[in-house]
Amino acid sequence: MQKWLYLALAIVAEVIATSALKSSAGFSNPWPTALVVAGYATAFYFLSLTLNSMPVGIAYAIWSGVGTVLIGLVAWLVHGQRLDLPALLGMALIVAGVAVINLFSKTASH
């Protein structure tokens, strides 16, 4: 169960860091830049803890898939990015892929 907490913390930290990239204005705005650096450091720390008990391919697939969907939602909510039907379908496929890994892959449970 601890691996899932670590993975969730890694995902949240990565989403925060990636969301702050736009506000960092090419790393010229100090506070968002600090958030980017701290967020990515935190994300990789918790991902490394996750990898002690979860295969790297499975952890990365979940991390990147869930992160991609969450970043899309943050971009829509915070930055007003429009999500058209292909974007929404793509995100649904990502969620479906993560679900298939977690529900059916024997590799995910190791």
Tell me the two tokens of residue 72.
């899309």
Domain boundaries, the chain: 2-109
pTM: 0.86
Angle at 91 between CA 44 and CA 9, to 5 degrees: 25
**pLDDT, block means (10 residues), the chain with 110 residues:** 95 96 93 97 97 90 91 91 92 90 73
